[in-house]
Amino acid sequence: MFSNTHTIFCPWMIVKTNDKKQARLESIRYVLSQFDYDGKGASKTTLLPDPNVIIRYHRGATQIDV
């Protein structure tokens, strides 16, 4: 499914964790990091998602979907 629907305009992002709370928080961080808004830099926490949890899907030369 990924290899058939992954395009430049709508890329797949993979959330790789077994903890639902962490998955939700990292997903929200990813979405918020994609937009510019007032007060974005004034937050006291990091808004960048954890690169070990949020992973961009890359289509390989030979991809087998299971």
Nearest to 54 by CA among 45, 24, 62, 6: 24
Hey, how many other C-beta atoms are within 10 angstroms of the C-beta on 15? 14
Read off the pLDDT of residues 32-50 as tens digits, 9 standing for 90 and up: 888 888 888 787 777 788 8
Answer whether 24's CB lies under 8 Å from 7's CB.
no
Contacts of 14 (CB under 8 A, 6+ apart): 54, 55, 56, 57
Give me the pLDDT at residue 27, please. Answer: 93
The model's pTM is 0.68
Domain boundaries along the sequence of the chain: 2-34+46-56
